[in-house]
Amino acid sequence: MRLYHAPASPFVRKVTVLLHEAGAMDRVTLIPAAGTPLDPGTMPVDRNPLGKIPALEREDGPTLYDSRVICRFLDDTLQAGLYPAAPHLWETLVLEATADGISDAAVLMRYEEHVRPKASQSPEWLAGQWSKIDRTLTAVEGRWISHLSGPVDMGQIALGAALGYLDLRHSQRDWRATRPVLARWWGDFSKRPSMLATHPG
Ligand SMILES: N[C@@H](CCC(=O)N[C@@H](CS)C(=O)NCC(=O)O)C(=O)O
């Protein structure tokens, strides 16, 4: 399989962490891709018309895209066990969607600050995206800690990818200051071999 890839992308990192957790990195060839909404560059637009990564070219079927689709496919194919059976599945999927929402807002902020021309940047829009992240981190600290101390799953991996991206691109915002428990969890989780092997720095 061929995975269109950029090491800084939190969505790509979800996929590569899954592959490391499953001991299956040798099942994919990484194809570098780069682009933005202003310039698709080398994004695989012929494979994913949205011009986004990750995208996974399979041996025996059409290319898959969107990290949630790819992760479900790989988990099933590799029997990785990162999505539990229902009813626990619903918790895992909601945490994965919550974490992906943090990554979405954080990536949009990055585009606003570094891709959109200075004259059309909006401080209010940036503040609005950060308030989504801020609210969501507070909700995670408030209600997800017991799930985070359970067996590793795709919800935790997606959250790790999101927090890693905040450290990479938005470290000046210091989300840890008011979330000591989540900060402790991330301190431990970030040391997993799969997280260390996919560190974007
Ligand atoms: N919902 C998608 C989001 C993927 C995404 O936004 N990827 C970014 C890289 S971090 C991208 O490809 N951006 C290029 C663009 O938006 O044009 C997923 O989960 O895979």
76-132: pLDDT as tens digits: 999 999 999 999 999 999 999 999 999 999 999 999 999 999 999 999 999 999 999
Q: What is the mean pLDDT of the chain?
A: 97
- Mutate which of 3, 11, 65 for ligand 1? The one with the most ligand atoms within 8 Å of its CB, which is 11
User: Do the bridges between strand 29-32 and strand 2-5 make them parallel or antiparallel, or are there none, so unpaired?
Assistant: parallel
Q: How far apart are CA 67 and CA 126, in angstroms?
A: 24
Which ligand 1 atom lies nearest to the CA of residue 35? 14
Quote the pLDDT of residue 164: 98
Name the pLDDT band for 62 (thresholds 50, 70, 90): very high
Residues 6+ apart with CB under 8 A from 168: 8, 200, 201
Model pTM above 0.95: yes
Q: How far apart are CA 18 and CA 156, in angstroms?
A: 11
- Mutate which of 53, 159, 165 for ligand 1? The one with the most ligand atoms within 8 Å of its CB, which is 53
Name the pLDDT band for 27 (thresholds 50, 70, 90): very high
Quote the pLDDT of residue 201: 78
**Ligand 1 cavity residues, CB under 6 Å:** 9, 11, 35-37, 51-54, 66-68, 100, 107
